[in-house]
Amino acid sequence: QKEVEQDPGPLSVPEGAIVSLNCTYSNSAFQYFMWYRQYSRKGPELLMYTYSSGNKEDGRFTAQVDKSSKYISLFIRDSQPSDSATYLCAMSGPTSGTYKYIFGTGTRLKVLA
Amino acid sequence: NAGVTQTPKFQVLKTGQSMTLQCAQDMNHNSMYWYRQDPGMGLRLIYYSASEGTTDKGEVPNGYNVSRLNKREFSLRLESAAPSQTSVYFCASNTQGFADTQYFGPGTRLTVL
């Protein structure tokens, strides 16, 4: 079982839809949770960064962390064609005396105009 | 402020050839990382350098070597390239190691024939 599971998609939605992207994880030591956006043939860029459980909002983006369920989500409101990209979840925390930083495999999102 | 830069952008090698991928950052970051990204596998850490003068193995170090030349530069060397090393390689950097968000370069697309 992978430490971080993420549905690869692709996920196709019409413009203006609310998008929900999710990751599950197995390591309860993870403390920091990130969402990166990666456009085709580009490097990942940070979208959201949260510490521990709770919600964080930034414009049209909301990140949720539920540590009790080991589940994190990214919501995109009023989705735009420019949101079409691959979204990678990432998480980090202490494991066996060292620190781990693990990425999900990414979900491809396509927002149709 | 260029952020993280990588050279070359593309490279084709024959099996057994060697090459060095270059990475530089101008954000005064302490930590630097090399990842490879393969379809369905996500980003996997090859090597990292927590600070100038130190390097450590990541998840998939076999077949690679690294050099932290100074605070700005971190190179990745393939001594004898193999087709299994065909991938997209990303360099990243940050200030506070694995508890901190990472800033990625644009990537190097490597094909080994």
Identify which of B40, B101, B104 has the shortest CB distance to residue A43: B104
**Rg for chain B, CA atoms, rounded:** 13
Closest CA to B44 of B2, B87, B8: B87
Closest CA to A37 of A75, A83, A95: A83
C-alpha distance from B101 to closest chain A C-alpha (Å): 7
Average pLDDT of A53-82? 95
When pLDDT is cut at 50, 70 and 90, the band that residue A99 belongs to is confident
pLDDT value of position A101: 86
Structure tokens at A88: 């990678």
Q: Does B98 touch chain A (CB under 8 A)?
A: yes
Q: Does B43 touch chain A (CB under 8 A)?
A: yes
C-alpha distance from A58 to closest chain B C-alpha (Å): 16
Structure tokens at A89: 């979840």
Given a cut of 80, is residue B106 above it in pLDDT?
Answer: yes
As a whole-number percent, the residues of chain A with pLDDT over 90 amount to 76
Strands A107-112 and A11-14 turn out to be parallel
C-alpha distance across the termini of chain B, in Å: 36
pLDDT value of position A104: 94
Given a cut of 80, is residue A82 above it in pLDDT?
Answer: yes
Q: Does B97 touch chain A (CB under 8 A)?
A: yes
When pLDDT is cut at 50, 70 and 90, the band that residue B84 belongs to is very high
Substitution target from B46, B49, B98 for chain A, most A beta carbons within 10 A: B98
Going by C-beta distance under 8 Å and a sequence separation of 6 or more, which residues neighbour residue B89?
B6, B21, B34, B35, B36, B37, B46, B76, B107, B108, B110
Identify which of A36, A99, A103 has the shortest CB distance to residue B98: A99
Average pLDDT of A95-104? 80
When pLDDT is cut at 50, 70 and 90, the band that residue A79 belongs to is very high
A24-33, A58-67, B45-54, B94-103: the lowest-pLDDT one: B94-103
The CA distance from B73 to B49, in Å, is 10
Q: Is A83 left (phi over 0), alpha (psi -120 to 50) or beta?
A: alpha
Q: What is the DSSP letter of A73?
A: E
pLDDT value of position A46: 93
Given a cut of 80, is residue B1 above it in pLDDT?
Answer: no
pLDDT value of position B96: 78
Structure tokens at B84: 């299994």
Average pLDDT of A50-69? 92
Average pLDDT of A41-69? 93
When pLDDT is cut at 50, 70 and 90, the band that residue A94 belongs to is confident
As a whole-number percent, the residues of chain A with pLDDT over 70 amount to 100
Tens-place pLDDT, residues B13-70: 999 999 999 999 999 999 999 999 998 888 999 999 989 989 999 989 999 999 998 9
In one-letter notation, the amino acid at residue B86 is T
C-beta of residue B31 within 8 angstroms of C-beta of residue B96: yes
